[in-house]
Amino acid sequence: MTDVRLLTGGEAVAHAMRQIDPDVVPVYPITPQTPIIQTFAKLIADGEASTEIVNVESEHSAMSAAIGAALAGGRTMTATSSQGLALMAEVVYIAASMRAPIVMALGNRALSGPINIHCDHSDSMLIRDSGVVQLFAESAQDAYDLTVMAPRIAEDARVLLPVLVCLDGFTITHSAEPVSLLPDDEVARFVGPYRLRNAVLDTTRPTTQGPFAMPDYYFELRRQQAAALEAALDVLEEVAAEFELLSRRRVGALEAYRLEDATRAIVALGSTAGTVKDVVDELRDEHEAAGLLRLVSFRPFPSAAIAAALEGCASVAVLDRADSPGGTPPLHAELAAALYGSDLELAGHVYGLGGRELHPPDVREIFRGAAAPYVGLRGERCPV
Amino acid sequence: MTDVRLLTGGEAVAHAMRQIDPDVVPVYPITPQTPIIQTFAKLIADGEASTEIVNVESEHSAMSAAIGAALAGGRTMTATSSQGLALMAEVVYIAASMRAPIVMALGNRALSGPINIHCDHSDSMLIRDSGVVQLFAESAQDAYDLTVMAPRIAEDARVLLPVLVCLDGFTITHSAEPVSLLPDDEVARFVGPYRLRNAVLDTTRPTTQGPFAMPDYYFELRRQQAAALEAALDVLEEVAAEFELLSRRRVGALEAYRLEDATRAIVALGSTAGTVKDVVDELRDEHEAAGLLRLVSFRPFPSAAIAAALEGCASVAVLDRADSPGGTPPLHAELAAALYGSDLELAGHVYGLGGRELHPPDVREIFRGAAAPYVGLRGERCPV
Amino acid sequence: MSRLKTIVRNQRGVQPLRGGHSLCQGCGVPMVVRTVLSTIRQPVVVVNATGCLEVATTRFPTTAWNVPWLHVAFENAAAVASGVESAQRVLRRRHALPAGEEVAVVVFAGDGGTYDIGLQALSGALERGHRFLFVCYDNEAYMNTGVQRSGATPFGASTTTSPAGLDSFGKAQRRKDMTAIAVAHHVPYVAQAASTHWHDLSVKVERAVAADGPAFLNVLTDCPVGWGHEPKLAKQVIDAAVETCFWPLYEVVEGRHRLTYTPRQAPVEEWLGSQQRFAHLFRPENAELISQIQGQVEADWNELLARCEEGRM
Amino acid sequence: MSRLKTIVRNQRGVQPLRGGHSLCQGCGVPMVVRTVLSTIRQPVVVVNATGCLEVATTRFPTTAWNVPWLHVAFENAAAVASGVESAQRVLRRRHALPAGEEVAVVVFAGDGGTYDIGLQALSGALERGHRFLFVCYDNEAYMNTGVQRSGATPFGASTTTSPAGLDSFGKAQRRKDMTAIAVAHHVPYVAQAASTHWHDLSVKVERAVAADGPAFLNVLTDCPVGWGHEPKLAKQVIDAAVETCFWPLYEVVEGRHRLTYTPRQAPVEEWLGSQQRFAHLFRPENAELISQIQGQVEADWNELLARCEEGRM
Amino acid sequence: MDGMTEIRWHARAGQGAKTAAQILALALLRTGKGVQAFPEYGPERRGAPLRAYTRVADRPIRRHDSVTDPDVVVVLEPSLVHEAGVAEGLAPDGYVVFNGDEAPPELDEVVVRCVPAQRLASKLGSGFVNMVMLGAVAAELGEPPLADLQDAAVETLGRKVAADDVRRALSEGYAWLN
Amino acid sequence: MDGMTEIRWHARAGQGAKTAAQILALALLRTGKGVQAFPEYGPERRGAPLRAYTRVADRPIRRHDSVTDPDVVVVLEPSLVHEAGVAEGLAPDGYVVFNGDEAPPELDEVVVRCVPAQRLASKLGSGFVNMVMLGAVAAELGEPPLADLQDAAVETLGRKVAADDVRRALSEGYAWLN
Amino acid sequence: MAELSTWESLPIAGAVRPSGAPRTKTGGWRTGEKPAVDVSLCVNCLLCWLYCPDSAVTLSGETFTGFDLEYCKGCGICADVCPVAAIEMVPE
Amino acid sequence: MAELSTWESLPIAGAVRPSGAPRTKTGGWRTGEKPAVDVSLCVNCLLCWLYCPDSAVTLSGETFTGFDLEYCKGCGICADVCPVAAIEMVPE
Ligand SMILES: Cc1ncc(C[n+]2csc(CCOP(=O)(O)OP(=O)(O)O)c2C)c(N)n1
Ligand SMILES: Cc1ncc(C[n+]2csc(CCOP(=O)(O)OP(=O)(O)O)c2C)c(N)n1
Ligand code: SF4
Ligand code: SF4
Ligand code: SF4
Ligand code: SF4
Ligand code: SF4
Ligand code: SF4
Ligand SMILES: [Mg+2]
Ligand SMILES: [Mg+2]
């Protein structure tokens, strides 16, 4: 009775949206998010869902309208990429602080400049301090699953935060893969109705939302938000467990792939993990104790679980698909903090910026410790 | 012959701008940057400098116009804070990638929400991957000095990047302190004329600037930018040395304060460093081997110099004036990466969000290792 | 006076904006808020752009507001309102809201949040046709941050970013004509009003809320601090703006222009002379500027009259 | 034909936009670029907003441009141009540029980068009075990203985000009247033009560049892919827009409106019928929509005529 | 990777290579295979050279890099042999399925199966060159069965095209190389 | 901190406390001291209670936290004793300089120096209440010398005010507590 | 800051309910003058009520009753707009 | 990717000088038809030149000379706008 289709990640997300049938979707087009919103728009135009799509005039307004809609009392979703996320960055922070449980699909794409439409994670990383939940999909199936799970995490009373489902631009958004869809009614039951405690449209119990906070209260209000993110880690696992009952697929905060007895491990996000898994299998066949730690949840960052998962390893290579010029790349820095004081050797690599490919031979080099800090860059010299 | 005045940090920056007399200053008001632009506007209105101020309609346009002006061939400065920086974030990345040597004063202020006008560093941290240089002032004097030095760093052929001079909102922007100004002509001579290789207004040698880059070239163009930031570290020291000859003041990438034989150190940015210095002196008087590492340059992050400076310490407390909910605070994460594999004990503290005060007793607690992760937060429990 | 009694009655004993806020002594904004909100009979939700009104009324944990109130940022009030309005529309369609009167969505934004940084969000919302009322309280500068020039600041006014000085006579550009820009969006209702012409304002609010689509109200509102006049002279100052034709009162219903008040066409000096920000214009060397301003006001006035004529054709 | 020869001569043998770009076969944009740039006699700097023109002409390390060309982002072309223009002004004042003819600053932006996401930057630049020419090549949708609805998309058009479907007839809102919005900014020169009316367009460019301040040109430009017509029918399709009064050609000089071409007022079906994006309107159940469109076009046309009359008073 | 077949499609944007790559994947998915189908994207428009890919394997496909050394290359647009490096990276035991009566000299070094798809499609009168080629590719691969391929194609192309024309084009190509 | 004097000014926004705090710092700077002057900022407007601070020390001042336990509290606006906790944190050996003829009961527990600045300023006819108070504070502190203070004030207040009025107001206050 | 709430006890997102919220008594902002009414002159036009920036004109139903001096900032607008000069600003 | 430049050898910020820049030969985009002119009919109006999206109509000074088939994408617009039907689209 499972409904397996050949869908791009973008289409898969659009189908999850159709099944969730949110109240409001304010959205602005940008490559490679377009397959999501075009597929969804067509489904709506044909009456397969009845969401109110608000075709706003910029991404700043997309997120602003999403906040308005979500706090008014409507379940709200949106989607963007790259420059779109950068343009709405200001309001993403505010959405998190106003605790608006908006679900947003992010087709990861390199930030300008130069302008480029292909995948890297610089857009996600731009808002890593904003207080939103960020979950990375490895495949179109993952993108679907996480989108279905997302409202449950976002709307949990312990969380109440925006949840971003990140899918690699083109590699996931535009690649057709087998995707198993849940029945419509099961999704509807799984996500349940949207219930907000302080809906702005409830004029009988007025609230002042988005007040000014001076030094006497700002810190405390921010701390609340950090606590919500900490709670999101538990909630994510709970929702993942429940989702597993339904789907027999489990997507939690992280996936340890053949890590049990691994001595060398790679840590990676997103679609690259699939490529790494193939190489891990090959190396295992060659009797090399290689393993992969795939992070699904980058925010909240599951530090303790990561440290535990990597405990037996001797060395870890962390793959950043984003740079921080003049500083430490984001994932590398997080790993350094999470593993600080351990004996693990840690090597950081930046790869895949602006859609540069990472092929299995590159992955092998990384496992061998023979890769340059910038993997796949022309003109890069290996460290001595 | 030194001209010592009582100036707020904002006024001090405005006077540096008057002395530099840039060609174009596109700017949009926001607290606590306003003293800078208001003082400067008044100086222009009275004919004390002849800069073209462009009163744009938003910060996104301020940075956009700055890019246009700088690449057209005009020396360009601007200033902003908080939401202003967040709104222009998209274009800050592009300014860096287009290698526009814009100098920007940033009156550090907490990002919304909730909305707040007081100091923390969340705004600076938002753009830490953007590829700009970020220098933090400890005092009004520092703010002046760094502003005078900034064009030299920004415009150096090895760098060609935006340089942000960050001054703590209110604490520096609005506090009056003694500031020693250099003579106008010395500043003019120090900064020299603005010369751009590919000025857009040079219609005899047309260039295409801001092209589209596919996966075949994007990575390489980004790598160039990272190299420019690496080079900025050397250039900063060179310019600092030259500035020292003029002023007898030296502001380099970092300041080691009584670190030589320190066993416990604090690492901090901005105006807080002054408070820490007072406590260090007290502790030294009490025969405690305390020291401070003040970072002036957060981008580029002087990892090697930091590791060297902290080598003799047993434990280091790093003070972040910004949080990364669900993750590691920015400075903490950088330190973890810089010191990874060393024996140093590293403790991270978040403090001062939204203008929360940090008083000497708090600093003592931190030195004692008795402070909570969130210092000065109401309701925070100390770790067990 | 019956309209004012109606306004009082609409409040049902609860001031939507209560005392205890920290707007300046004599600030002109609250009376606009009162007139607008109390004219509206149905329940309201207020969306507020960053600015004096917002900052000074909601210092956590206090609040001066007694109606649902939402603030997100400076430049996006119209977009936030789009979201609220869309949610209401779909929730009513889906029967997920208690039956009852439709909630009126009202935006308050200053001129900065309307003419400049908020223009795009407003324009987009007008194009999409959301049913909401956008009220710009236009005090002609960024007051909250200390009186900086905005697109609404009149030619010649001194502000902290267009200061009069030895080399400068204040703002060098004419003001953006925001009301005309809103009209060009072909929305059902647009009007220009002035705070102290409260009856006119109240009538306009009524029409605006009844309109089947977006409505835009541009309300000239005094700021004693930024304009430089004694607070209690609010009425006199605003009246001068109206009577000199600097700020004509009119409305545009489905594209048809109509004057709602006939001013006595006083010389602009009456308006300029009432405020410190224009004081430098009265220096002898600036005499030419005043006649330039008079000329511009007259030209604009004649153009407006022509539009009103056109409507009558 | 002498104007066309002048255009050719202005080029001095160098095409500002050369072949080798990857715009679609038959794209309507390049001829607008050619007509605009070659009409201008002085040296130019081009600022380009993100969109088809930008993306398809500058894939690194290639470039199709032969004049200084600057691209920063999608929404800020007018602000970037403000910076370039300001720099030129101050550098000339400071004698830091080689003496010689002033460089004309020309922006090219699509309708998305003009009506929607770029509106605010444009509005601010118009208010500040920078001397530059903003050319919107209006192909009525976001083409670069795959034909999504924009503020310029006409009522009833099917796009990928306003698709015609079982429950939908395409875009439900009327198009934003960007030319009128620009006019409301009271800038020296505003005009509406159409790509294939090249002579009219060229004359307008000449006037625009001569204007003492900002100039705005809104040029209807066909997109065979997004509109759904054969590339070679460009002229026929654009002519239909003009002849049906859907897209009147006019200019507004210092506030005075003037028609620059008298169309034959053909029925809108001529325009709608020429493109796939309107095909669904011809289904029987949508007949009402077509007469609604005809009504709107006529109302707008009459309003424009009234404005032109007014100018003559 | 063991048991994986990688196919690269060459065409001009607008000629239906992306769709063909996807239909093949769908039909193979229905036979229980692991599949993936994706095109390459750039700023180029209708008329520009374009590549698309299909991956097939006996188990789920996880790798997410592009195809560098295809087992099969399909040339939908013959003129591309001049500009697009169609044989680049072709696996040693790989082959090219070429739209034309005979192999062009550019492909002298590699194994080529010719399918006069243009001609066959014209003959059928429906212009489905891509479907003719797709049918031929399936025949050469030995999977999926023609009927499955036809079903997948009709489903993917939807209401807007005549199902019979699609089926006929596929079987014409299938027959040619079977 | 050794050798540091911290002064807190209480007034309503618009009464010139920020300026007074700054003038004091400037005059002390001219005598070779380390100084700092800053107000507290909030969303409150003209009329709201406001605090400003002056720090003086024998060496450069580096700390950048607010003043919590001032050595001197200056109350420019007498009505503030009801609402603003003016004696809060006052150092054990600290004192309050109060604008009024006699100390209000709220300040019973602390040392108060009264300066009828309102009355003195009215008498002078110039309304510089803040300058009268500033003069008195300097006298009480024992520094800076009156002339330095007067110069600093005239320089800070600029052309817009009558220099003589400023000087007179300062000396009036100075004389009162000297 | 001991009297202020801890972070765990604050309302989520700082959303404030007007009913329970504290309000700042801004009566202290008055700088020497306060409004006083001669009720015998008052014609109950309610203009003072409409204009008062601080919502400090009190009503009973629709009848003017006086001023709420806890919030009145003493701006004098009510006195200025009263058509019958029933309000005067008087020293505190 | 061996033929592409290394990161150190690229122009700063990717600023390209048109003179040295490679250009894509888009003549291959034509799908079967190319323009052909009957010069004897041509009245040198230059409309084809003005309209050509690919700058593929060549001139000598101000005189029409033909087509640059390296760039011509074969859209047929030149043939459509030629007032004297001097241009025809013909099979390659
Ligand atoms: C993105 C951004 N830029 C700047 C600011 C700072 N800011 C807050 S309010 C304001 C001025 C508001 O002016 P206006 O809209 O006219 O309202 P008023 O203050 O006059 O009430 C400014 C510049 C901000 N909050 N956000
Ligand atoms: C901030 C941002 N949002 C979205 C995009 C994606 N985007 C690039 S071009 C474009 C559409 C351009 O439309 P238009 O201005 O009409 O030009 P056209 O494509 O029609 O030439 C969009 C949506 C972007 N680059 N930046
Ligand atoms: S500054 Fe002006 S607008 Fe703002 S509160 Fe004061 S009087 Fe009102
Ligand atoms: S999509 Fe339209 S506008 Fe864009 S290049 Fe193609 S034809 Fe031109
Ligand atoms: S004086 Fe001002 S604040 Fe007081 S009641 Fe009158 S109008 Fe209101
Ligand atoms: S304004 Fe005067 S007359 Fe009117 S209600 Fe107030 S006090 Fe009475
Ligand atoms: S066919 Fe098209 S591209 Fe070729 S020359 Fe003619 S107009 Fe130009
Ligand atoms: S359009 Fe025709 S007549 Fe005119 S120049 Fe071209 S070929 Fe000659
Ligand atoms: Mg304002
Ligand atoms: Mg367009």
pLDDT tens digit string along F60-100? 999 999 999 999 999 999 989 887 789 999 999 999 999 99
Residue B383 has pLDDT above 60, yes or no: no
By C-alpha distance, which of A29, A125, A116, A119 is closest to A78?
A29
**Which residues place a Cβ less than 5 A from the ion ligand 9?**
C 110-111, 139, 143
Rounded Cα–Cα distance for residues D71 and D265 (Å): 39
Residue E165 has pLDDT above 50, yes or no: yes
Q: What is the phi-psi region of residue B131: left when phi exceeds 0, alpha when psi lies from -120 to 50, beta otherwise?
A: left
User: How far C4 CA sits from the closest chain D CA (Å)?
Assistant: 35
Architecture of the domain defined by G28-91: 2-Layer Sandwich (3.30)
Contact assignment for B64 to D121 by CB distance below 8 Å = yes
Q: In the complex, which subunits touch B with 3 or more CB pairs below 8 angstroms?
A: A, C, D, E, F, G, H
pLDDT digits (tens, 9 = 90+) for B73-126: 999 999 999 999 999 999 999 999 999 999 999 999 999 999 999 999 999 999
Q: List the domain boundaries for chain C.
A: 2-312
Q: Tell me the chain B residues in contact with residue G13 when contact means C-beta distances shorter than 8 Å.
A: 113
Residue D268 is encoded by which pair of tokens?
A: 């809108």
C276 contact partners, CB below 8 Å, separation of at least 6: C227, C228, C229
Determine contact, residues B251/B146, Cβ cutoff 8 Å: yes
The confidence band for F42, taking pLDDT boundaries of 50, 70 and 90, is: confident
Rg from Cα positions in chain C: 19
Rounded Cα–Cα distance for residues D281 and D228 (Å): 14
pLDDT digits (tens, 9 = 90+) for E109-143: 999 999 999 999 999 988 899 999 999 999 999 99
By C-alpha distance, which of E129, E132, E38, E52 is closest to E84?
E52
At E2 the pLDDT is 58
User: How far A35 CA sits from the closest chain D CA (Å)?
Assistant: 10
Chain-centroid distance, C-alpha B380: 30
Element (H, E) at D309: helix D287-312
Average pLDDT for residues A340-366, to the nearest whole number? 97
At A382 the pLDDT is 55
Q: Does B3 touch chain D (CB under 8 A)?
A: no
The confidence band for C311, taking pLDDT boundaries of 50, 70 and 90, is: low
At F9 the pLDDT is 97
Q: Does F64 touch chain A (CB under 8 A)?
A: no
Of C55, C73, C148, the CB nearest to B83: C73
- End-to-end distance of chain E based on CA atoms, in angstroms? 27
At D49 the pLDDT is 98
The confidence band for A191, taking pLDDT boundaries of 50, 70 and 90, is: very high
pLDDT digits (tens, 9 = 90+) for D69-110: 999 999 999 999 999 999 999 999 999 998 888 999 999 999
Range from A80-94, F42-56, F91-105, F137-151 carrying the lowest mean pLDDT:
F42-56
**Best probe residue, ligand 2, of D145, D223, D277 (max atoms within 8 Å of C-beta):** D145
Q: Tell me the chain D residues in contact with residue E48 when contact means C-beta distances shorter than 8 Å.
A: 22
Q: How many helices (H) and strands (E) does chain A have?
A: 12, 16
Q: Does B377 touch chain G (CB under 8 A)?
A: yes
Residue G1 has pLDDT above 50, yes or no: no
Element (H, E) at A320: strand A315-320
At F41 the pLDDT is 87
Residue C13 has pLDDT above 80, yes or no: no
Residue F137 has pLDDT above 70, yes or no: yes
The CA F72 to ligand 2 mean position distance, Å, reads 61
Domains of chain E: 5-176 (3.40.920.10)
Mean predicted lDDT score pLDDT of chain G: 93
DSSP single-letter state for residue D142: B
**Best probe residue, ligand 3, of C220, C225, C227, C275 (max atoms within 8 Å of C-beta):** C225
pLDDT digits (tens, 9 = 90+) for D162-213: 999 999 999 999 999 999 999 999 999 999 999 999 999 999 999 999 999 9
pLDDT digits (tens, 9 = 90+) for A263-311: 999 999 999 999 999 999 999 999 999 999 999 999 999 999 999 999 9
The confidence band for D312, taking pLDDT boundaries of 50, 70 and 90, is: low
Average pLDDT for residues F56-61, to the nearest whole number? 96
A375 contact partners, CB below 8 Å, separation of at least 6: A319, A349, A350, A351, A352, A358, A362, A365, A366
The CA A333 to ligand 10 mean position distance, Å, reads 42
Task: Say whether B55 sits in a helix, a strand or coil.
Answer: strand
pLDDT digits (tens, 9 = 90+) for C165-197: 999 999 999 999 999 999 999 999 999 999 999
E16-41 CB burial, b ≥16 within 10 A, e <16: bbbbbbbbbbbbbbbeebbbbbbbbb
Task: Say whether E2 sits in a helix, a strand or coil.
Answer: coil
Task: Match 């993110």 to its residue by tokens.
Answer: A229
- The most distant pair of C-alpha atoms in chain D lies apart, rounded to whole Å, by 68
Task: Match 């309708």 to its residue by tokens.
Answer: D111
Q: What is the DSSP string of F100-133?
A: SSS--GGGTTSEEEEE-HHHHHHHHTS--HHHHH
Ligand 7 atom index nearest CA of H71: 3
CA distances to D77, D196, D245, F160 from D271, in Å: 31, 15, 10, 68
Task: Say whether E57 sits in a helix, a strand or coil.
Answer: strand
Q: Does D62 touch chain E (CB under 8 A)?
A: no
Rg from Cα positions in chain B: 20
Q: What is the domain class of D2-312 according to CATH? A: alpha beta
**Best probe residue, ligand 1, of C74, C150, C227 (max atoms within 8 Å of C-beta):** C74
pLDDT digits (tens, 9 = 90+) for E55-101: 999 999 999 999 999 999 999 999 898 877 899 999 999 999 999 99
SS3 per-residue string spanning B245-287: HHHCCCCCCEEEECCCCCCEEEEEECCHHHHHHHHHHHHHHCC
Residue A383 has pLDDT above 60, yes or no: no
Q: Give the residue whose CA is nearest to atom 3 of ligand 5.
A: G72
Q: Is the peptide bond before B32 cis (omega within 30 degrees of 0)?
A: yes
The confidence band for D311, taking pLDDT boundaries of 50, 70 and 90, is: low
At B384 the pLDDT is 43
**Best probe residue, ligand 8, of H38, H41, H48, H80 (max atoms within 8 Å of C-beta):** H48
Task: Match 């930030």 to its residue by tokens.
Answer: A111
Residue F2 has pLDDT above 70, yes or no: no
At B382 the pLDDT is 55
Q: How many CB pairs under 8 A join D and E?
A: 22
User: How far B88 CA sits from the closest chain G CA (Å)?
Assistant: 25
Average pLDDT for residues B231-246, to the nearest whole number? 98
Task: Say whether F9 sits in a helix, a strand or coil.
Answer: strand
Which residues approach ligand 2 with their CB closer than 6 A? A 29-30, 59, 83-84, 87; D 50-53, 74-75, 109-113, 139, 142-145, 150
CA distances to B359, D31, E113, F31, F84 from F6, in Å: 14, 72, 92, 17, 18
What residue in C sits closest to A76 (Cα-Cα)?
C87
The CA C223 to ligand 3 mean position distance, Å, reads 5
At F1 the pLDDT is 43
Ligand 2 atom index nearest CA of D55: 9
Mean predicted lDDT score pLDDT of chain A: 97
Average pLDDT for residues C199-224, to the nearest whole number? 98
Contact assignment for F36 to B176 by CB distance below 8 Å = yes
Q: Give the residue whose CA is nearest to atom 7 of ligand 1.
A: B30
Which amino acid does the sequence have at D35? T
Helix axis angle, A9-20 to A184-191, nearest 10°: 70
Average pLDDT for residues A170-182, to the nearest whole number? 98
The ligand with the least distance to the CA atom of H27 is: 7
Domains of chain A: 3-197+207-247 (3.40.50.970), 254-375 (3.40.50.920)
By C-alpha distance, which of C35, C269, C62 is closest to C137?
C35
Residue B383 is encoded by which pair of tokens?
A: 């770790």
Contact assignment for B29 to C165 by CB distance below 8 Å = no
At B201 the pLDDT is 97
At E127 the pLDDT is 87
Q: Tell me the chain B residues in contact with residue A113 when contact means C-beta distances shorter than 8 Å.
A: 93-94, 97-98, 210
Which amino acid does the sequence have at D221? T
pLDDT digits (tens, 9 = 90+) for B151-182: 999 999 999 999 999 999 999 999 999 999 99
pLDDT digits (tens, 9 = 90+) for E29-43: 999 999 999 999 877
Q: Give the residue whose CA is nearest to atom 1 of ligand 4.
A: D143
**Which residues place a Cβ less than 5 A from the ion ligand 10?**
D 110-111, 139, 143
Q: How many CB pairs under 8 A join E and H?
A: 15
pLDDT digits (tens, 9 = 90+) for B29-72: 999 999 999 999 999 999 999 999 999 999 999 999 999 999 99
The CA H52 to ligand 4 mean position distance, Å, reads 14
Rounded Cα–Cα distance for residues A349 and B338 (Å): 15
By C-alpha distance, which of B119, B371, B363, B140 is closest to B257?
B363
The CA D157 to ligand 10 mean position distance, Å, reads 14
CA distances to A231, A269, C145, C160, D248 from C157, in Å: 53, 56, 17, 10, 39
Rounded Cα–Cα distance for residues A13 and A81 (Å): 14
Q: Give the residue whose CA is nearest to atom 5 of ligand 1.
A: B30
Most confidently predicted of C164-168, F1-5, G1-5 = C164-168
pLDDT digits (tens, 9 = 90+) for C102-144: 999 999 999 999 999 999 999 999 999 999 999 999 999 999 9
Window 316-355 of A: residues touching F by CB (8 A cutoff) are none
Residue E134 is encoded by which pair of tokens?
A: 């797709």
Rounded Cα–Cα distance for residues D86 and B61 (Å): 13
pLDDT digits (tens, 9 = 90+) for A124-169: 999 999 999 999 999 999 999 999 999 999 999 999 999 999 999 9
Percent of chain H whose predicted confidence (pLDDT) is above 70:
98
The CA G84 to ligand 6 mean position distance, Å, reads 7
Contact assignment for D225 to E46 by CB distance below 8 Å = yes
By C-alpha distance, which of C180, C185, C179, C118 is closest to C150?
C118
Rounded Cα–Cα distance for residues D240 and D271 (Å): 5
By C-alpha distance, which of F92, G5, A59, F114 is closest to B90?
A59
Contact assignment for D75 to A58 by CB distance below 8 Å = yes
Q: Tell me the chain B residues in contact with residue C55 when contact means C-beta distances shorter than 8 Å.
A: 115
ipTM of the complex: 0.98
Task: Say whether H88 sits in a helix, a strand or coil.
Answer: strand
Determine contact, residues A365/A371, Cβ cutoff 8 Å: yes
Contact assignment for C59 to A212 by CB distance below 8 Å = yes
Of D119, D148, D165, the CB nearest to A42: D165
Would you say the CB of residue C53 lies under 6 angstroms from ligand 1?
yes
Q: List the domain boundaries for chain H.
A: 28-91
The pTM of the full predicted model, rounded to 2 decimals, is 0.98
Q: Give the residue whose CA is nearest to atom 8 of ligand 4.
A: D27
Which amino acid does the sequence have at A331? L
